Amino acid sequence: MSTTIQLEPVAGFCIKSTVNDAPNHGLKVFVNIAWDPHVPQPPPGSELRIRRAMLGHDVDDPNPDAWYVPVVVSDGRQDKDKAGKPALVFDCVYNTSLKSRTLTDPEFKLFIVELALQRIEAQTSLVLSRQIGTPNIVPKGKLLPRTVNIPSSLLTEGSTHSILPASSTTHQLIQEVSPPVAPSSTKPKGILKSASTSTLKERSSTPTWSWSKDGTKIQIKISLPNLPRALIEHATLDIEPRRFILHVPDYPVFDINLGLSDAEIVATAASRTSASLHDGNGTEPNNTLTLKRQRPLDVDGATSEWRLADNMLVIVA
């Protein structure tokens, strides 16, 4: 189940990066790091676990409850730099409880910044430079109120939040519902991922998946609701020993990377606009974390088939 929450973020600091890949190489990107008490807090964790998450290390035991940091990432919006050249601006909003450590622990601040950059990259397919600047502004532009949907399981008992009527639709872990910019604002062509286009919005069909053992093989089932049969012949599937990627036209790219650290798997699940790693039943990121602990996928012996009646792709590898 999801809960709809209102945010009124307070500016923390601003960083500046640039796009490193074509066709927009050199485009400036401003990232507002902001705080709001209604964003879910990270789960309880020892200092050792927090440090391991900051370093991107794996958790050796099979417990999937790795420490992670929820964050709300806005859509990119157009702006200009001080020279009047085009720029993009993103807001990354964290729980207010992280503010004090960010101010006193430089390594933790870098972790928060890197997390924001990773979220933006996952959401937009941009490649951002890690040569970071700190402009002499607190926020770039104005931080406006916004509404987000989050799984109710992320809300800790006794936490304070402004709740709106919950939607019955399954959403990704943290998804912005009402953009803090006017509807007339347009995104730069070719910059932001097509997940925000009307085609994807109309489908409301985020793929879900599960895995199980089939003798000595691993069986993976990917369900795509409302899948038109005409699109199946245009679908592509790439299987690597520690990764599988399914692309179906007009659907978010479904990319499961088992080569990431536990912390990265949990953390990057929070804001993907490609196939969400979190469904409404909370089965993710557990699916990825548990499959990661199995043997590599058998690429040479892999088979796949579409079960049209179930709108499902079954992979055996």
| pLDDT score, position 156 | 56
Contact between 209 and 277 (Cβ < 8 Å): no
Average pLDDT over residues 114-129: 90
| pLDDT at residue 248 greater than cutoff 70 | yes
Residues whose CB is less than 8 angstroms from the CB of residue 121 and which lie 6 or more positions away in sequence, other chains included = 127, 128
Which pLDDT score is estimated for 236?
A: 87
- Per-residue confidence (pLDDT) for residue 179, from 0 to 100: 40
Backbone torsions φ then ψ of 67, nearest 5 degrees? -75, 135
Mean pLDDT of the chain: 76
pLDDT of residue 1: 58
pLDDT at 209 over 80: yes
> Please, what is the Cα angle at 183 between 177 and 186, to 5 degrees?
105
User: What is the three-class DSSP state of 145?
Assistant: coil
- Of residues 208 and 252, the one with the higher pLDDT is 208
pLDDT band with cut points at 50, 70 and 90 for residue 49: confident
Residue with tokens 């792709």: 313
Contact by Cβ (8 Å): 10, 37: no
CB 279 within 8 A of CB 203: no
Neighbours of 175 (CB within 10 A): 20
Using the predicted structure, report yes or no on whether residue 207 has a pLDDT greater than 90. Answer: no
Please name the residue that has the structure tokens 């993103």: 90
The residue type found at 214 is D
Q: How far apart are CA 182 and CA 95, in angstroms?
A: 25
Residue showing tokens 């990270």? 42
Question: Considering the chain, what percentage of its residues have pLDDT values greater than 90?
Answer: 27
Lowest mean pLDDT among 28-32, 47-51, 59-63, 267-271: 59-63
Q: Say what the pLDDT of residue 271 is.
A: 38
Q: Can you tell me the mean pLDDT for 74-82? A: 91
Query: How many Cα atoms occupy the beta-carbon half-sphere of 188 within 13 Å?
Result: 20
Confidence band, pLDDT 50/70/90 cuts, at residue 155: low
What pLDDT sits at residue 267? 62
Task: Report the distance separating Cα 288 and Cα 314, nearest Å.
Answer: 16
